[in-house]
Amino acid sequence: MITNLPTAELLSDTLAQADFLPRLPQQRRLYEAAKAAILSQQLGAGCKLPSTRNLAKDLGIARNTIIAAFEQLVAEGFVVTSTGSGTYVAATLPTVSRPKGKLKELPASTPKIPLAGPAPLSKRGAQLTEFAAGERYEIQPFAPGDCDFSTFPYKIWQRLQNRVWRDSWSELLDYGKAGGYLPLRRAIAEYLRVSRSVKVSIDQVMITAGTQQSLDLCAQLLADVGDTAWVENPCYWGARRVFESCDLHLHPIAVDAEGIAPTASELMSKPRLIYVTPSHQYPTGVVMSLARRRMLLELAENEGAWILEDDYDSEFRYTGRPLAALQGLDAHGRVVYMGTFSKVLYPGIKVGYLVVPPLLVEPFKSALYDLHRPGQLMIQAALADFIAAGHFTTHIRKIRQAYGAKRELLRKTLVAQVGNNIKISGEESGLHLVIELPDQVDDVALASLAAESGIAVKPLSNYYLQQPVRRGLLVGYAYVNMDKISYYGKLLAHVIQAGTRL
């Protein structure tokens, strides 16, 4: 016979429901049943709970289980105990009276979390998500931007990681201070000096969680809301999103055969930030001429603007040495240089770096720590060892050769099918090439047509901030194996022929 109605009956009814949290232990089920009754005010504030002894008897549950569930309810503030007088529902909930009923009716009275309809975002949130790139698509033939991470030297990496975990000291489990793991910063400084002619001391190097975070730091620290950021047009969408999220005014500047090409009237405007990809403009692949580099540096110096140089894929230059960075020409400390390991190693590593002018070292270090609490020192340590032991340069050499061969095969396959009517550009370096299309061709429609054959090329016009100036298709080849390049290359050529009558 149940001795303490209605509380015991209420709980007993809930626990008897076969679908009430069947996989959880009894103590947790009892706690959840009592909590639900309190939240739905079936057990109102001030209501006395039965003694643990009586409840154990009524519910047929061990008393220790009841005590443990009550203790949890006390700890979370749902009930209070008063020595000698018992356990009561706490008075912290609204005291609107409701008809008492069984817990079976609970779902009808539980507040509903909306599952559909417009998301209640801020204006900025709504704007940002309106054009979001969405989930990362499954890697498909010719998706631009992807490297072939199947060639990553797993075994070597595993050995280095194991050694770091075995030998390392506990500081590596802490947040990263002072801009990241010192030996990695040293290795990066050395690498950039030799292979990119970057003027850099170790102090100026800061490890970030990739270019996206580097850009965010620059936008937060160097520009105010409403300031103007010049971006190349067409532009890397990731940079555009970051600047938009910081409420900067984006001013698209056309790109011609020499890189970013501001008009005379644009040169009179006062940008605060100038985002550029001088070694391999993303997405067109144009290399910025020396004259343009000089012009930009002079402008930045005169106007007090900051140039953000995104050097994301210079490792993959197929003819000759990688190009020297714009930063190396900067005599006035106006360039913030950034690089990433996403393309050379694998995207999920999320390790990138910034080289900031000397005056910005302290503020950047402090903001990096305060805003992002960087970590992953174990990965940074393994990466430092990976570079120091020469595996990094060996890996780059290997993949550069492999990607170069893929690029050549793709070019030959396309030309063999379509003939010299096809114009290919931007293929001297990087992980993708651009097939240029006549102005009247709808490259978005053509990319959709290609998608029907399982080909994930991207239309050039999607990268423009305003009306597209040029039409084309971005074709990524690094990830695709040689057999698939032949097969899908022919397929793509057919799609282009069908869509353009070339």
- Residues at the interface with ligand PLP (CB under 6 A): 145, 210-212, 236, 238, 277, 282, 310, 312, 340, 342, 347, 352
Considering the complex, what minimum distance in angstroms separates the CB of residue 117 from ligand PLP?
Answer: 32
Q: Which residue is nearest to ligand PLP (CB)?
A: 210
Q: What angle do CA 338, 267, 211 make, to 5 degrees?
A: 15
Of the pair 284, 461, the CB lying nearest ligand PLP is at 284
Tell me which H or E stretch contains 281. Answer: none
CA gap 492, 453 in Å, rounded: 8
Considering the complex, what minimum distance in angstroms separates the CB of residue 442 from ligand PLP?
Answer: 24
Considering the complex, what minimum distance in angstroms separates the CB of residue 407 from ligand PLP?
Answer: 17
Could you tell me if 4 and 50 are in contact, meaning their C-beta atoms sit under 8 angstroms apart? yes
Of the pair 434, 496, the CB lying nearest ligand PLP is at 434
Considering the complex, what minimum distance in angstroms separates the CB of residue 285 from ligand PLP?
Answer: 11
Considering the complex, what minimum distance in angstroms separates the CB of residue 489 from ligand PLP?
Answer: 22
Sign of CA dihedral 322, 323, 329, 334: negative
Of the pair 44, 347, the CB lying nearest ligand PLP is at 347
Of the pair 34, 253, the CB lying nearest ligand PLP is at 253
Of the pair 69, 239, the CB lying nearest ligand PLP is at 239
Could you tell me if 271 and 251 are in contact, meaning their C-beta atoms sit under 8 angstroms apart? yes
CA gap 103, 124 in Å, rounded: 42
The neighbouring-strand residues paired with 79 are: 89
| Residues contacting 358, CB < 8 A, separation 6+ | 201, 203, 204, 333
Name residue, tokens 């704007």.
127
CA gap 252, 476 in Å, rounded: 25
Of the pair 191, 312, the CB lying nearest ligand PLP is at 312
Name residue, tokens 């270090």.
365
CA gap 313, 346 in Å, rounded: 12
Helices (H), ranges, 168-223 = 182-196, 211-222
Of the pair 61, 288, the CB lying nearest ligand PLP is at 288
CA gap 41, 92 in Å, rounded: 11
Task: Record the tokens describing residue 154, joined without a space.
Answer: 């797993």
Of the pair 248, 344, the CB lying nearest ligand PLP is at 344
Could you tell me if 286 and 258 are in contact, meaning their C-beta atoms sit under 8 angstroms apart? yes
Considering the complex, what minimum distance in angstroms separates the CB of residue 474 from ligand PLP?
Answer: 10
CA gap 203, 355 in Å, rounded: 9
Half-sphere exposure of 307 (CA within 13 A, CB side): 30
Considering the complex, what minimum distance in angstroms separates the CB of residue 58 from ligand PLP?
Answer: 59
Of the pair 57, 343, the CB lying nearest ligand PLP is at 343
Of the pair 232, 385, the CB lying nearest ligand PLP is at 232
Task: Record the tokens describing residue 393, joined without a space.
Answer: 């340069």
Considering the complex, what minimum distance in angstroms separates the CB of residue 343 from ligand PLP?
Answer: 7
Helices (H), ranges, 270-420 = 290-303, 361-372, 377-388, 391-418
How many residues would you count in the chain? 502
Considering the complex, what minimum distance in angstroms separates the CB of residue 338 from ligand PLP?
Answer: 8
Tell me which H or E stretch contains 270. Answer: none
Considering the complex, what minimum distance in angstroms separates the CB of residue 347 from ligand PLP?
Answer: 6
